Structure 1
Amino acid sequence: MAVGWAGDGAVQEQIDATVESAVQLARSRMPQGQSLTHCAECEAPIPEARRKAVPGVQYCIECQSELEKNQKAASLFNRSGSKDSQLK
C-alpha cells in the first residue's frame, strides 16, 4: 500500500526503525557488571534484594526513577514530522 509519495512498505519500514531504535536504547540502558552496594548518586545503601534482582545496578530506587524520568523526557522525538511540514 503506497501512502502519498512513499513507496510500498515505507510505513512498515518506519515502524520497524522506530522499534529497533527503542530496543537499542533499552539495551544501552541496561546495567552490566557487578552491582554497587551504595548508590552512585546519593550514596544510600542499595538493598541486597535489589542487587540480586538487577545485576549491575548502580543507583537506589529513588535515584534510578529520577534518572529514567529525565532520560525519557530527553529521548522523545517524532520520526514522521508534523503534518504541516509535509504539506509545504
Structure 2
Amino acid sequence: MSPELNGRRKPSKRTRPPAIEFAQATEPGSEHYYLKQAWGAYGAAYRSQLFEIGMFDESEAHDLPIPSPQIGDRLAAAFEEKHR
C-alpha cells in the first residue's frame, strides 16, 4: 500500500527539502536566506498595523512609510540610545 496524503503521495525522506536553520537563514546577507528580502518583510507584512498604532506616518516626499513623530521617532531614539 503506497502512502497517500490528500490524494498525493507522501514525500519520502529522500525527496523532502532540507530543514531550514532559522537563525542562519534570517541573518542579513546570508547565502541560505529564508526570506527573499535581505532584511525580511516586517514593514511590508505589518504596514497597516504599524500605521494603525501610530508608529508609521506617510511621507510627502515618497511612498515609503516613515516613523511618526509621536511614536516612531521616540522609539527609534530609545532604540539607538540603548544600542550605542
The two structures share one fold, judged by TM-score above 0.5: no
* Higher RCO (C-alpha 8 Å, min separation 6): 1
TM-score between both structures, scaled by the size of structure 1: 0.27
Q: Please state which structure has a larger fraction of its residues in helix.
A: 1
- Please tell me whether Structure 1 or Structure 2 has the larger radius of gyration of its CA atoms: 2
Q: Please state which structure has a larger fraction of its residues in strand.
A: 2
